[in-house]
Chains A and B, each alone.
Chain A
Amino acid sequence: MCDADNTTTKKTIRVATGDRAILPEGAKTIPIYIMGKKYDVPETLTIMKAMEFAGFKFLRGAGCRGGICGACPTVYRMAGDYKLHYGLACQTVVEANMYLAQIPFFPANRAEYNIEEIGGAAEAIHALYPELFRCVACNLCTKACPMDVDVLGYISALKQGNIKKAAQLSFDCIQCGLCASRCMGEIPQYHIAQLARRVYGRYIQPRAEHLAKRVEEIESGKYDAMLQDLSAMSKEELEKCYVEREREPDMTAPGAWQPKETRYL
């Protein structure tokens, strides 16, 4: 019995399982190469979903799936071109003839320190990461960054002792490590940037005085009674309270709106 006869006489029931998806009717597939092996996957999928479609299961190397946790950095290249490209697997849509591999973790050096002890001088960062000065400004780090962070810019700022600038330039870093994977100076840029932001936050950035005041109020028990009242409410009372709550209208200019109930301010 040939296949053609089989399909006409007996309808196969296909079931989607953990590692097998059902393609929509007429879905177009494209070839991609995962770790060198060819898979045909539906176009429009992200790299991460395409890999799952192809049967891979992520135990590590997948996190928020929203482009912000830095767990799924991917290096890829288009067939016929030498140029390497970088992206997050959960954000980058597959293209035909893409060769790709995941770099879920990069074994870059991470210094140990106690933020309370190291002080706010750039020399502390230089001492923890002397490899910073191996930078030759090749800029491969910046080219590899899936978040378009000016990595060379913040590394340069730190060499110049400008922690504030480094903290600000590296703000969008998601610690994926692609910068370090490309660095010929073996510099762990993302870890150094994190240290810079911590030093900036601990020693340089002005303290938020209103926050300190509010913490003091909380610790003095100002809100304890309100919290107890809420805790004692029944579900119905709580829902009513929530639905009827006063709410600042969207897009109100700061300070322009005041609630009618002022007992809790």
Chain B
Amino acid sequence: MKISYYPGCTLKSKAANLEAAAVAALATLGIDVEEIDRWNCCGAVFSLTADDLIHQVGPVRNLVRAKEQGATQLVTLCSMCYNTLARANRIMRDDAVKRDTINRFMDEEIDYAGEVEVVHLLTFLEREVGWQKIREKVKVPLEGLRVAPYYGCTLQRPADVGIEPFGSFHLMTGLLEALGATVTPFAAADTCCGSYQVLNGEAGARSTAAVILDNAAASGAEALATSCPLCEYNLGKQQGRLLEAGQITTAVPTFYFTQLLAVALGVAPESCLFDLNSAASLDLLKTKNCLVAA
């Protein structure tokens, strides 16, 4: 099976581990990942101003690329890319006036009316592969690894593009259980990680992150799974500083869900680029014997 794939800028640099693990894992499931040609930034953050259509041009251009390259589905991994693309897609599908304005502005491109479906990999895995098949393909079950499924803001909000209803976490739960992990639900699973506040209100962002990590640890989690590079930055890369400052007492190493999928499917850890996580992440998998024998 082939899938059309939109990576996003961060997955080509700071979050290359999110992508590398996904591509390697999908290969073991017999799925070819075909990156669309000539994609640009997704827009990163969806513009909430109703008439600010220029900020929809970026995401829509990617959807145009997918359409002209014959895709009916466009799979994304990054929560923020998913959110921005899916919301722009709704505008193009449902709002005739805005669609017309945007299509006229983009007169060098083919017209677009929401023909491509934007799909997050979690949705794709459940719908097109199925947890049962993944369970069968697991080579290194993540047995005894207690993982908190962390969704952050953009996978579920707003409801019309959410990968599942607000308050429900069955997609990541289903995946982690299929991989053999123990899922530890926690109340802060959909609390904002602090987002870009880390740039101009660092103290606030760090205390938000501390609340989430504390809550995950209190629920018994040893690890936290996410699909968002910004969440990974605030909760993972910054975690050492939170520990040093005494803002949290228990480490909860963070992973992209694709990394947990990949190691369970027997992908070599080198292909999951754990050097881009904090060191505690790979150490935890070693301790728990969750890595394929070299």
Q: Does B55 contact A (CB under 8 A)?
A: yes
CA distance A153 to B39 in the complex (A): 8
Of the listed stretches A4-12, A159-167, A199-207, chain B binds A159-167
**Smallest CB gap from A122: residue in B:** B13
Q: Does A139 contact B (CB under 8 A)?
A: yes
**How many residues of chain A are within 8 Å of chain B by beta carbon?**
18
Q: Does A156 contact B (CB under 8 A)?
A: yes
Task: Using A143-B108, A184-B54 as known contacts, say yes or no to A137 and B12 having CB atoms under 8 A apart.
Answer: no
Residues of chain B within 8 A of A153, CB atoms compared: 38, 40
Task: Using A137-B40, A139-B108 as known contacts, say yes or no to A160 and B9 having CB atoms under 8 A apart.
Answer: yes
Contact B12 A139 (CB under 8 A): no
CA distance A137 to B8 in the complex (A): 13
CB-defined interface of A48-75 with B at 8 Å, one 1/0 digit per residue?
A: 0000000000000000000000000000
Q: For chain B, residues 1 to 50, give those with C-beta under 8 angstroms from any C-beta of chain A.
A: 9, 12-13, 38-41, 43
**Chain A proximity of B193: nearest CB distance (Å):** 20
CA distance A179 to B57 in the complex (A): 18
Contact B57 A138 (CB under 8 A): yes
Residues of chain A within 8 A of B58, CB atoms compared: 135-138
Contact B13 A139 (CB under 8 A): no
**Chain B proximity of A168: nearest CB distance (Å):** 14
Which 5 residue pairs spanning A and B have beta carbons closest together? A137-B58, A161-B13, A160-B12, A156-B40, A137-B40
CB-defined interface of A144-164 with B at 8 Å, one 1/0 digit per residue?
A: 000000101101100111100
Using a CB–CB cutoff of 8 Å, the interface residues on chain A facing chain B are: 122, 135-139, 142-143, 150, 152-153, 155-156, 159-162, 184
Contact B61 A139 (CB under 8 A): yes
CA distance A142 to B38 in the complex (A): 13
Contact A156 B108 (CB under 8 A): no
- Given A142-B108, A156-B40, A159-B9, 15 other A-B contacts at CB below 8 A? A135-B41, A135-B58, A136-B43, A137-B40, A137-B43, A137-B58, A138-B54, A138-B105, A139-B106, A139-B108, A143-B108, A156-B9, A156-B39, A159-B40, A184-B54
CA distance A153 to B9 in the complex (A): 12
**Chain A proximity of B13: nearest CB distance (Å):** 4
Q: Is the interface of A mostly helix, strand, loop or mixed?
A: loop
Complex A-B: 9 CB contacts under 8 Å = A135-B41, A137-B40, A137-B43, A137-B61, A139-B106, A142-B108, A152-B40, A156-B40, A161-B9
Contact A136 B54 (CB under 8 A): yes
Contact B41 A156 (CB under 8 A): yes
Contact A136 B57 (CB under 8 A): yes
**Chain A proximity of B34: nearest CB distance (Å):** 17
**Smallest CB gap from B55: residue in A:** A136
**Chain A proximity of B65: nearest CB distance (Å):** 11
Count of inter-chain pairs, beta carbons less than 8 A: 46
**Smallest CB gap from A123: residue in B:** B13
Using a CB–CB cutoff of 8 Å, the interface residues on chain B facing chain A are: 9, 12-13, 38-41, 43, 54-55, 57-58, 61, 105-106, 108
CA distance A150 to B55 in the complex (A): 20
Residues of chain B within 8 A of A143, CB atoms compared: 108
Contact A137 B57 (CB under 8 A): yes
CA distance A137 to B109 in the complex (A): 13
Task: Using A137-B40, A143-B108 as known contacts, say yes or no to A160 and B13 having CB atoms under 8 A apart.
Answer: yes
Q: Which interface residue of B12, B39, B55, B105 has the most chain A CB atoms within 10 A?
A: B12
Residues of chain B within 8 A of A138, CB atoms compared: 54, 57-58, 105
CA distance A135 to B55 in the complex (A): 10
Contact B12 A161 (CB under 8 A): yes
CA distance A211 to B280 in the complex (A): 47
Residues of chain A within 8 A of B43, CB atoms compared: 136-137
**Chain B proximity of A192: nearest CB distance (Å):** 15
CA distance A161 to B276 in the complex (A): 15
Residues of chain A within 8 A of B108, CB atoms compared: 139, 142-143
**Chain A proximity of B294: nearest CB distance (Å):** 30
CA distance A159 to B58 in the complex (A): 13
Contact B54 A159 (CB under 8 A): no
**Smallest CB gap from A161: residue in B:** B13
Q: Which interface residue of B40, B43, B108 has the most chain A CB atoms within 10 A?
A: B40
**Chain B proximity of A134: nearest CB distance (Å):** 11
**Smallest CB gap from B52: residue in A:** A136
CA distance A152 to B58 in the complex (A): 10
Contact A162 B12 (CB under 8 A): yes
Contact B38 A159 (CB under 8 A): no
CA distance A136 to B55 in the complex (A): 6
Residues of chain B within 8 A of A162, CB atoms compared: 12
CA distance A161 to B54 in the complex (A): 24
Residues of chain A within 8 A of B106, CB atoms compared: 139
Residues of chain B within 8 A of A136, CB atoms compared: 43, 54-55, 57-58
**Chain A proximity of B202: nearest CB distance (Å):** 19
CA distance A122 to B54 in the complex (A): 27
CA distance A136 to B45 in the complex (A): 11
**Smallest CB gap from A158: residue in B:** B9
**Chain A proximity of B18: nearest CB distance (Å):** 14
CA distance A143 to B106 in the complex (A): 10
**Smallest CB gap from B106: residue in A:** A139
